[in-house]
Amino acid sequence: MPPVIHKDKCNGCGKCVLVCSEDVFFGWKNKQFPPVAYPDECWHCTACLLVCPIAGAISLRTPLPMMVPFK
């Protein structure tokens, strides 16, 4: 499952766009809401969560097949 960016909390800083190694957020313009253009390319590395300055602005849903190793 791709990252979900909450528009009400996102300030458009773009740090998640810059840190994403798979370019999931493609088409971002400065100070705008970053679009999730390629959701299937997300590797769930949580880099976007770690770099985001606002807590709760990005949520990452772990796919069901990946939940077993997390437990």
> So what's the pLDDT on residue 70?
57
What is the count of structural domains for the chain?
1
Q: In which domain, by residue range, is 19 found?
A: 3-63
Are the beta carbons of 49 and 36 closer than 8 angstroms?
Answer: no
Q: What is the reported pTM?
A: 0.78
Q: What is the mean pLDDT of residues 64-68?
A: 72
In a domain, 69, yes or no: no
In a domain, 35, yes or no: yes
In a domain, 71, yes or no: no
In a domain, 34, yes or no: yes
| CATH code of 45's domain | 3.30.70.20
In a domain, 20, yes or no: yes
> So what's the pLDDT on residue 64?
73
Tens of pLDDT, residues 7-56: 999 999 999 999 999 989 888 888 888 999 998 899 888 999 999 999 99
> How far apart, in whole angstroms, are the C-alpha atoms of residue 59 and residue 16?
12
